[in-house]
Amino acid sequence: MRWPNILITGASSGIGTALAEACAAPGVTLHLSARTTARLEAVAAACRAKGATVRPAAVDVRDAAAMAEWIGSAGRLDLVIANAGVGAGTGDSWESAEDCRAVFETNLTGVLNTALPAIAAMAAQAPGADGWRGRIAVVASIAAFVAAPSTPAYCASKSAAQRWTEARDATERKRGIRMHSVNPGFVRTPMTSVNAFPMPFLMEPEQAARRTLDGIAAGRLRIVYPRRLYALARVVGALPPAWRNRLLMIPPPKPPTQAT
């Protein structure tokens, strides 16, 4: 057992479910959240069947007070994974004001609503078996390294989350807390099931969970996979912005989806 007390947001689907199930084991307490209770209860049952103690909670990451209350009352936390996120496509039109705000509120404010109370709680607890008071992993994306015109808010929210996490690690580690940015490529989940364009190096959520947890255990500040897509993203991301926009407008745009 690597971390006995783990909290994961967005655990009712996709990568969050795979992370919860990969962590579930006897002696592990899992605090799992999402907005949809029915799917969350099914994940909790699967994790209990693997021997974990599970405490599911219906909490919206956009609700700062509810998140602070939930995290503050969880008891000791060795690992917190800020995974909840939403995507929104623009189709061939403009990004709507509602979608733009919803994406930032979940993917950025929701991350802060998770990480800031977790940092406060961890700062007050003794170091665990790995020598750290606690670890916080923020699920950003390889999209953090490319400003794609079909998903401006998504890329920008992920970029902000990734940069904030990595910069904050430098100071947090001085008081015994580690931060990790997690940057997956394409993973087969409900979020990507709407994509009508080719998704190179598409991974299963179980692979993504394993790569994430192995990266955290290895102490990596930036966890990013698959490496070939990351290399491609860095090259495209380094192009002059006008060239990059022209190049990224060639494939069919992400279909319009409403961020909720």
Could you say whether residue 14 binds ligand NAP (CB under 6 A)? yes
**In whole angstroms, how close is the CB of 148 to ligand NAP at the nearest point?**
12
Dihedrals phi, psi of 84, to nearest 5 degrees: -55, 135
The answer to whether residue 154 is catalytic is yes
What residues contact 100, with CB distance under 8 A and at least 6 apart?
Answer: 88, 152, 153
Footprint (CB under 6 A) of ligand NAP, residues 160-219: 184, 186-187, 189-192
Could you say whether residue 62 binds ligand NAP (CB under 6 A)? yes
Residue number, 86 or 121, with CB nearest to ligand NAP: 86
Total residues interacting with ligand NAP, rule: CB under 6 A: 30
Residue number, 122 or 233, with CB nearest to ligand NAP: 233
Q: Where are the alpha helices (DSSP H) in the chain?
A: 14-23, 37-49, 64-72, 97-104, 110-123, 152-172, 205-217, 227-237, 241-248
How far is residue 201's CA from residue 186's CA, in Å, rounded to a whole number? 7
Could you say whether residue 113 binds ligand NAP (CB under 6 A)? no
How far is residue 169's CA from residue 95's CA, in Å, rounded to a whole number? 32
Beta strands 222-225 and 5-9 are unpaired
Could you say whether residue 141 binds ligand NAP (CB under 6 A)? yes
* Identified catalytic residue from 70, 132, 145, 154: 154
Among 4, 53, 55, 60, binds ligand NAP (CB under 6 A): 60
Residue number, 5 or 9, with CB nearest to ligand NAP: 9
Active site residue ranges: 154
